[in-house]
Amino acid sequence: MWPVLRGVTKTFDIILAPFAGMHPIVGLLVVSVVTGVVMLFIFGKTSNQKMIASTKDKLKAHIMEMWIFRNTPSVMFRAMGNVVRYNLQYLKHSLRPIVFLFVPVLFIMVQLGIRYAHEPLIPGDVTVVTVVLADGVRATEADVTLEAPDGVRVVSPALRMDAVGEIEWKIVADRCGTGTLSVITPGGTVDKVVVVGENLGTARFASLRPRAGTWDAFLYPAEQPIRRDSIVHSVTIHYEAKQGLLFGLTFHWLWIFFGVSVIAGFALKGFFGIEV
């Protein structure tokens, strides 16, 4: 799986490279609009367009019937029943294209997540690094230490918690730059990229480096997963969540992505002649 994820990640690096020097919202908006168009085409190619158009026409007719005969209960309730029936038919016709849309949209969300989900540290920030140990490894007995690169300092002793199998350290960012934290174990060193900077544009980095073969390894492909034979299950740097500014309002990046892609799809469906 890792070679596939690495290939997809490098492809997105190339796609987003033109927006590297711009405000992060620019790249997010462009990808969202393109995603909306791609979703529209996939929906059009995988759905029964004639049945969707027919079902929508019947649905509109019965909604209008409800309004016209609102003072005639028998006719209005019959029209309400037909509205429910054709709504269910519309959902049935939409289910197949939604299945086809799921996989590409999931890959896009993962790639956007490692670029827009978190803010990098800035000089002066203090945060926590959490190392989760493999099952059966006691934190108080594990010979695990943390070393920081230039520009970052470890400022607390290890806090070892056997109940949850975790070890934590506090670190402080001193200056901008990208470095590597090293989790040193008897079986080898596990590295985790740490990023300090105020505006990284579309640069990719993740809060979590997970173990290979886990669901998290798919969700966080910014770095190669940790080997399965390591006593370290995951390493997490607790970055702040990033909030996007759009039209003067602050939104989570996922809301911007979904909102813009859906609006783009609906806005262009008439231009491409696709029923949604």
Mean local confidence (pLDDT), 41-48: 91
pLDDT band at 254 (very low <50, low <70, confident <90, very high): confident
Please state, for a pLDDT cut of 90, what percent of the chain lies above it.
62
103 and 185 co-located in one domain? no
How far is Cα 215 from Cα 47, in angstroms, rounded to an integer? 30
Residues 56 and 87 in one domain: yes
Antiparallel, parallel or unpaired: β 145-147 and 232-237? unpaired
- Is the domain of 190 the same as that of 261? no
- Tell me, what CATH number does 133's domain have? 2.60.40
3-class DSSP state of 259: helix
On whether both 227 and 127 belong to a single domain, the answer is yes
**Same domain, yes or no: 222 and 211:** yes
**Residue 1: what pLDDT?**
80
Length of the chain: 276
Which band of pLDDT confidence, cut at 50, 70 and 90, is reported for residue 244?
low
The structural domain count of the chain equals 2
Residue 16 lies in a domain: no
Q: Tokens 């995988």 — which residue?
A: 46
Question: Could you tell me where the DSSP H helices lie in 47-178?
Answer: 49-68, 73-116
pTM beyond cutoff 0.75: yes
pLDDT digits (tens, 9 = 90+) for 214-233: 999 999 999 999 999 999 99
User: CA–CA separation, 133 vs 116, rounded Å?
Assistant: 28
How far is 80 from 134, CA to CA, in rounded Å? 57
Same-domain status, 147 and 112 = no
Q: Are residues 202 and 257 in the same domain?
A: no
- 248, pLDDT greater than 70: no
Q: Which residues contact 155 (CB under 8 A, 6 or more apart)?
A: 126, 170, 171, 172
Q: Kindly state whether residues 112 and 201 are assigned to the same domain.
A: no
Is the residue at 14 inside a domain? no
Q: How far lies 99's CA from each of 33, 46, 66, 104, 273, in Å?
A: 20, 9, 33, 10, 21
Q: What is the pLDDT of residue 255?
A: 87
With beta carbons less than 8 A apart as the criterion, state whether 21 and 201 touch. yes
CA angle 229, 231, 237 (to 5 degrees): 115
Q: By the 8 A CB rule, do 269 and 42 touch?
A: no
Q: How far is CA 244 from the centre of its chain?
A: 14
* pLDDT tops 70 at residue 246: no
Q: Are residues 130 and 208 in the same domain?
A: yes
Q: Kindly give, in sequence order, each residue whose CB lies less than 8 Å from that of residue 2, ignoring residues fewer than 6 positions away.
A: 212, 217, 221, 224, 225
Q: How far apart are CA 100 and CA 98, in angstroms?
A: 5
pLDDT recorded at residue 256: 87
Q: Is residue 132, in this structure, part of any structural domain at all?
A: yes
Instruction: Tell me the pLDDT of the chain averaged across its residues.
Output: 91
Could you give the CA distance from residue 149 to residue 234 in angstroms, rounded to a whole number? 19
Q: Looking at the structure, do residues 132 and 209 belong to the same domain, yes or no?
A: yes
Indicate if 113 and 130 belong to the same structural domain.
no
Q: Which residues constitute the domain of residue 85?
A: 26-117+252-272
